[in-house]
Structure 1
Amino acid sequence: MSGLCKFRKTFAVIIIVCVSVLMFLYSAGTRIDEFGASLVDLYEPLNDTDIHTPCTIHPLDPWDVSLKPYIAEPSPIVCSDRFDLFYVQKDGRLALNKSVAKLHNIDIKKWRCFYQLIERLLGDVHLKFAEKVEFSSPVSIDSHLFRVTCQFNSLFIPSTVYDMAHFNPFYSNRSNERGNIHNETASTPSVIILGLDSMSRSHAIRNLPKSMKFLRDELQAYDFIGYRKVGLNTFPNLMPLLTGKSHGEFPEFSSNAAYADDMPLLWSEEYAKHMATFFAEDRSDITTFNLGKRGFFQVPTNFYIRPYLLAMQEFDPVFMSKLERPDSYCYGRRGFFDLMLEYLKGFLGHYTNKQTLAFFWENSLGHDKFNDLKLGDDLLLEFLQWMKSERNMDNTLLMVLSDHGFRIGGASLTHIGRAENSNPFLMVHVPRNLKEDKTIDQILTHNTKQLLTPYDIYQTVHDLLTPYDIYQTVHDFLSNKSSEERYVKTHLVRRSIFRPIPSTRTCADAGLDATHCTCTDRVPVSIDSKVVRLLAIRLVKELNKILEQDSNCAAVTLHNITEASVHYTLKNDLNVPEGLQNTFKLTKFRDNVRSAHDLDRTSGRYSVLFYTQPGSAYYEGLIDFTQFGSGDKMAVIGEPARLNKYGNQSHCVANSELRTFCFCVDLLKNGAI
């Protein structure tokens, strides 16, 4: 009898332990947020596969040991002058900078100087230079853009000693009458979006420490660690931000068949009709709306920098002597980033106390070299300090963000580098009246740790600028427990950062397709696996299908595989033969337990990194593999992503989408492989 009692007690203890473990596992799988009255508990999770799996957000380590070989001090930019020989005063007159003249021992009386007005013609390509007009400074110039040329009066042939393009920030050829523009107030705030290309959150931590500290400590900006890219490069990430739609919804523009004028961009919305608008992007050769595309037929905004960039390319800059042609970093003695910020300052200064909408995009610093972003920290900090002292930040929404991380070569080929590529930087300063609302502040703090995409940036700006009571809307949302917005959907839902974002949000809800969804962990797989090699061969076959579009492109072959990983398919999603289904009954608990009896060890979504020849192109491909079921067991997801630079390999094709993949046949004839 005593033996039976001991057995019962032991059995009871085992049952209690098992139940406790099950309860622990269950609670561990359910995220509970300490947020007010547990607002996020009202969200209904979805638990399907990959893009329907709730996303867990973890900050990346900016100093991961694998990045150490790539982190170095950048070489200084040679064009470090902060001021030019001529500048435009606040009264709109062009004047001589006497300090610069003295520094270079210039006697302006011995010079003859001329200006030429520059006019942008229809379309985004051509300019018209007016006749030269001789002047003595200061002089009023009624044009947003002009050229200044000076000659030295010698006894022999006059020599050109100065020749530069300039902009007048106090004059806009498309300027709205100031009376038509709303004043900047709490109910009509300004929005300034400051974007830097190829900057992950970790990359900003490493390279912009001063600017990040100022944003955090002085501007009380929110740091959104869950911000994710939705596309490969700049264009597919900026279109959702600027239009709220996927770039795929604009096929005519993407294929160079139409201009961008009719696209529903932020500055084209109804609320922007009474705002002063601004769009500036440097690097005229790779700009978002012009690389392989037509750009704009009409000038899109009140201030538009592209004509200024085109003017730079029309003639060689001169200051005392002939200078280098404009490149990614310099125009004459001035740095591009410095000039861009000066252009933005001019716009904001011209429309002081007026409601503004500005979109600023900087390519030159971060696009080509991994460490050069650091060269912009002091300039960005100075601009932010200027904003705080010269602008009424109480009525301004300021977003500092990026499109994706560094993605071509070097550090981007490491595991952590690829993870950074998907996690662009986003910090947001909100108007004071919103910051001081405790509920909205709680919501914003909660949202910094949730999944966020460019679609949500669009919705945030739209909600802020659309006339309605944002406070009442938020409180109505919180009190309405049956609101549809509380639920995670199986399709895209644009969500403002001023409303709680579900902790159970999925890639599908955030607008992320399977190619760019990073919500599930990958398991490393041997590159010697037969399955992996078959998948790599299939990916190369997919590449050749793309290359068949142009006979100028060579077919490619698999060279080698460098890395492979897999998101294993959940048991309830397998097409398991009926006779084997009973084997799987006990292999799954909350989608995270795999048993020793698991018969399927290969089905899942694989990421394969591989090289092809000719050209030594390096790709990452995503492909599904199903062990069971009939028909094709492999399905390529999206297109393989090029990871290293292709330089001049694709010079023979005009299609911007083919450039990433193409190795031109003529290079084979010349012996280049």
Structure 2
Amino acid sequence: MLDPFDRSLRAFLPKAKPLLDNNTLAFNQSAFRIANVTQSSLRCYYQTIIRYDGDRGVRMNNTIPLELPATLPYDFYQVTCRNSSEAIIYKNLFSNISPTSVHRDNPVEEESPQHLSVILFGIDSASRSSAIRRLPKTMNILRNLQAYDFKGHTKVGENTFPNMIPLLTGLNVSELHLPRRPYMDKIPFLWNNYSKNGYTTFYAEDTPTWDTFNFNKRGFQIPPTDHYMRPYQLALWNVQKMDYPYISDYCYNGMSRHSLQINYLKQFLDLYKRKRRFALSLINVLCHNTEKNLQFGDEDLRDFVQWMDNEGHLKNTVFIIFGDHGNRISGIRRTPIGYLEDRMPLLQMIIPEQLKARHATVHESLLVNTNRLTTHFDLHQTIVDVLKQSFSEPSIAYREGKVRGISLFKTIPLARTCRDACIPDTYCVCDQTIEEPTSHALAKTMSETGVQMLNHIMFSEDRCAKLTFHKTTSVRRYLRTFQETGIIQTAVSLFRNADVLDRYIVQFQTIPGFGIFEATIGVYLDGGIRVEGDIDRVNKYWNQSACIQDGALLRAYCYCVKKHRVN
């Protein structure tokens, strides 16, 4: 049975034969013959896509006649062509990189061996292991290009936002002191530092309903970077809702959605070739819901990396391909391997050969660090060092007197612990676990404790059903270790309370809705049983929580019994 992505490609690719070659707006003569029209009988016009009300929406401006071939000085626009009978025979949304659409306070300067560009290419929910399984061609070319493969890279938050904030700011989400449904403009993102230092900036995501800074948030009042793809993606979303031909979650007019975003990034790299560039491209659609779809991006990702090398874009560039976290809600997540993969995202890095030649310690440290415990805080500090050219003396970031992040250009201590690396206990993978029977009375008691916590969190929300314990699906116990005092404890508990007898990772299912949740449970010497940290939802909840408009936690926990009333 074909998966939805494969069905989409097979359905749309044979049918879509564009009359205009993408972005050049030049005639595709073979497509004209197939469509049985002549150039003289064709009447075309365009509408630019304009952002309004911050990130909330887009609109089309007035239609303007278009003489083909043509080049338009806009980032996003829609072209429509009619035949002599006024029937629409062609309609397409275009992305483009136009320097005339950018208004900067300072000019873009030349890149050099000292002023390196930074390209961050993210894949939502991609773990290192899933990339090995699903992206063999991409991983092979990364090996050929001598990319550093970080095997101990570990997430520091549950989902995308609390991992991207450390990467892009060096801070935890709690340190931002954000109000409810906040705007993102005042957050100290790295791209602002780069822009002030003569870099042109780029940010793109491919799913506007899930965008990192828009999901349960308001996004940006003004575009955060020089080139910002959200208006184009919103326009795609709008035509998809109208049942536009040849469009789905995965495809648009014969192109995969991830390819559209890769092409936009390629246009950016080409237009500003040999200029200082900072780009963040985060692809959601490939892997967000299921890791199986990741394989359909393998050739496109391989070709993109190969293109960057062939076109000289890696000469003075630090190229980073990464995951924010592993897959959190697919079937594999409910296995012991999936538990680890969720916590260990992909991280590969390519640096220029001339940087290795000028700073041998950089290469040596990166090589050692591929087998050390690393986080997004460390990656942030590395990107800070690229901007500051701190290669001979890589930096360490401190927060309230504690080490927060260590540049990957500096050798990370072998004995580094999760506590040292600011990894919450819930996401630490340094300690071994052993499977325990789900039939024991303790398993049920721990599961019921988790259910009680869920209901406590939703206590004041009358739109959500009270959850009831259904069954325990998995129990794993942290292996014990000895402290000098002789007290037997779990390895994780050494970082916390001395009165913990054991800690467990418990998965349990609730009704209504059959949600599957995972919690770290502490069993204390005084007989107490307590939930440690957050409880994670590890299966899909689709529209079960549609009545909840705000709050990521409630959306994951709530089974709606009352409809949301809009004032």
Q: Same fold (TM over 0.5)?
A: yes
1:162–1:317: 8 Å Cα contact kept in structure 2?
no
**Cα RMSD between the aligned structures?**
3.1
| Runs of 4+ residues over 6 Å off in structure 1 | 70-73
Alignment CA distance shift 1:120-1:239 (3 Å): same
The one of 52, 77, 81 equivalent to 2:9 is: 77
Question: Aligned pair 1:173/2:84, yes or no?
Answer: no
The one of 12, 20, 23 equivalent to 1:86 is: 20
Per-residue CA deviations over 1:427-473 (Å, capped at 9, x if unaligned) read 1001222223433222111000000111111110001112x4522x1
The one of 196, 205, 212 equivalent to 2:139 is: 212
Q: Per-residue deviation at 1:335? A: 1.2
Residue 249 of structure 1: aligned partner = 175
Residue 321 of structure 2: aligned partner = 400
Partner Cα separation in structure 2 for residue 71 and residue 416 of structure 1: 23
Higher relative contact order (CA 8 A, sep 6+): 1
Q: Per-residue deviation at 1:102? A: 4.2
Alignment CA distance shift 1:84-1:357 (3 Å): farther
1:76–1:375: 8 Å Cα contact kept in structure 2?
no
Q: Per-residue deviation at 1:117? A: 2.1
The one of 441, 458, 479 equivalent to 1:530 is: 441
Residue 577 of structure 1: aligned partner = none
2:445 maps to amino acid: L
The one of 426, 435, 453 equivalent to 2:347 is: 426
1:278–1:357: 8 Å Cα contact kept in structure 2?
yes
Partner Cα separation in structure 2 for residue 101 and residue 73 of structure 1: 29
Q: Per-residue deviation at 1:365? A: 0.9
**In the TM superposition, what are the counterparts of 1:6-405 in structure 2 within 5 Å?**
77-78=9-10, 79-80=12-13, 84-87=18-21, 94-102=25-33, 104-154=35-85, 158-176=86-104, 180-217=107-144, 219-252=145-178, 255-256=180-181, 258-269=182-193, 272-315=196-239, 323-324=245-246, 326-405=247-326
**In the TM superposition, what are the counterparts of 1:588-607 in structure 2 within 5 Å?**
603-607=501-505
Residue 49 of structure 1: aligned partner = none
1:655 maps to amino acid: D
Alignment CA distance shift 1:465-1:99 (3 Å): farther
Stretches of structure 1 lacking an aligned partner (at least 5 in a row): 1-69, 478-484, 574-580, 593-599, 668-673
Partner Cα separation in structure 1 for residue 433 and residue 3 of structure 2: 26
Partner Cα separation in structure 2 for residue 565 and residue 490 of structure 1: 35
Residue 453 of structure 1: aligned partner = 375
Partner Cα separation in structure 2 for residue 76 and residue 353 of structure 1: 38
Three-state SS of the structure 2 residue aligned to 1:313 is helix
Per-residue CA deviations over 1:53-109 (Å, capped at 9, x if unaligned) read xxxxxxxxxxxxxxxxx99996572344798433476xxx64323344345444232
Give aligned-pair identity as a percent: 33
1:544–1:555: 8 Å Cα contact kept in structure 2?
yes
TM-score, normalised relative to structure 2 = 0.90
Three-state SS of the structure 2 residue aligned to 1:470 is coil
2:539 maps to amino acid: N
2:559 maps to amino acid: F
Alignment CA distance shift 1:423-1:448 (3 Å): same
Per-residue CA deviations over 1:401-421 (Å, capped at 9, x if unaligned) read 101222213122111122111
Partner Cα separation in structure 2 for residue 88 and residue 72 of structure 1: 25
Partner Cα separation in structure 1 for residue 356 and residue 35 of structure 2: 49
The one of 562, 568, 590 equivalent to 2:473 is: 562
Partner Cα separation in structure 2 for residue 495 and residue 374 of structure 1: 33
The one of 362, 371, 395 equivalent to 1:440 is: 362
Stretches of structure 2 lacking an aligned partner (at least 5 in a row): 493-497
1:145 maps to amino acid: F
**In the TM superposition, what are the counterparts of 1:514-525 in structure 2 within 5 Å?**
514-525=425-436
Aligned residues: 553
Bigger fraction of residues in strand: 2
Alignment CA distance shift 1:457-1:336 (3 Å): same
Alignment CA distance shift 1:556-1:136 (3 Å): same
Partner Cα separation in structure 2 for residue 317 and residue 666 of structure 1: 26
1:86 maps to amino acid: L
Alignment CA distance shift 1:311-1:458 (3 Å): same
1:556–1:613: 8 Å Cα contact kept in structure 2?
yes
Partner Cα separation in structure 1 for residue 397 and residue 60 of structure 2: 57
1:184 maps to amino acid: E
Q: Give 1 or 2 for the bigger CA radius of gyration.
A: 1
Stretch deviating more after TM superposition (103-112 or 189-198)? 103-112
Residue 611 of structure 1: aligned partner = 509
Three-state SS of the structure 2 residue aligned to 1:531 is helix
1:228–1:452: 8 Å Cα contact kept in structure 2?
yes
Residue 503 of structure 1: aligned partner = 414
2:504 maps to amino acid: Y
1:290 maps to amino acid: N
Alignment CA distance shift 1:650-1:146 (3 Å): same
